[in-house]
Amino acid sequence: MNDSRHIASAFDRDLDSIHAKILKMGGLVEASIVDSSKALESRDQELAEKVRRGDAAIDALDEQINDEVANLIALRAPTAVDLRTVLAIMRMTSNLERIGDLSKNLAKRSDVLGQLTQISGATGSIRRMTREVEAMLKDALDAFIQRDPDFARDVIERDREVDEMYNTLFREFLTFMLEDPRNITACMHLHFIAKNVERMGDHVTAIAEQVLFYVTGETPEGSRPKADVTSSDMKYNPEAEPD
């Protein structure tokens, strides 16, 4: 990979600006996941509100990055590593923006959950799952900074574990609901939360794939590991849940 500067220094300034913004956005999204899962666990309404408000900053960065990328493509016609950088960042920013939305959705549910009976063990499992997704995001962004393809591949692999955690939770919720219909409302909410975290994992995986493309110029061959089996088990499609 090429570390030398462009002859046109304005080109470097434009690229540096986009770089700085995507890293800032990544940091905000990481913080949002941490906060929303904390809010969920401790039923902290104030923290939840902070997450909801914070999403606007993430959306604004997404917009700014898209504008700057469009300008850079129009004015500087980037090629090779420059082209891969802006393409990767453009896709990464939309994945980050989606993760931000999902995190906001988690925070929203903490209010409702505060009024519901506790389902034993579920919040602990969701916490572990969320932590794993947050760690994956941090590693994907580090892989981007360090241009480390192995690190990125490792993140992609780890999404399997998140999928498996989700599958386990899904079965648990089903059991609870069958045992006592009074659990249904709480379990449905918890399920949406788990599903949202699982989808965050998918977006993090997509980010790691973009890092691979940016560094190596290749898109990972074959489909990514997909261990979420619930949609094939069941007629109901949890993907259809609105945010």
Contacting positions for another protein (CB under 8 A): 2, 4-8, 11, 77-84, 217-218
Q: Least distance (Å) from another protein to the CB of residue 82? A: 5
Q: Least distance (Å) from another protein to the CB of residue 80? A: 5
Please identify, using beta-carbon distances, which residue of 88 and 113 lies nearer to another protein.
88
How would you label 155-173 residue by residue, b for 16+ Cβ within 10 Å and e otherwise? bbebbbbbbebbbebbebb
Please identify, using beta-carbon distances, which residue of 80 and 240 lies nearer to another protein.
80
Q: Hey, what are 219's tokens?
A: 């898109």
Nearest residue to 194 (alpha-carbon basis) of 226, 155, 230, 225: 230
Q: Least distance (Å) from another protein to the CB of residue 22? A: 19
Instruction: Find out whether 46 and 98 touch, Cβ atoms under 8 Å.
Output: no
Rounded to whole angstroms, the Cα distance separating 150 from 147 reads 9
Q: Hey, what are 225's tokens?
A: 């590991």
Please identify, using beta-carbon distances, which residue of 11 and 192 lies nearer to another protein.
11
Q: Least distance (Å) from another protein to the CB of residue 216? A: 8
Instruction: Find out whether 22 and 89 touch, Cβ atoms under 8 Å.
Output: yes
Instruction: Find out whether 71 and 79 touch, Cβ atoms under 8 Å.
Output: no
Q: Least distance (Å) from another protein to the CB of residue 19? A: 15
Rounded to whole angstroms, the Cα distance separating 55 from 36 reads 11
Please identify, using beta-carbon distances, which residue of 78 and 201 lies nearer to another protein.
78
Residue reference for tokens 């949002």: 32
Please identify, using beta-carbon distances, which residue of 34 and 87 lies nearer to another protein.
87
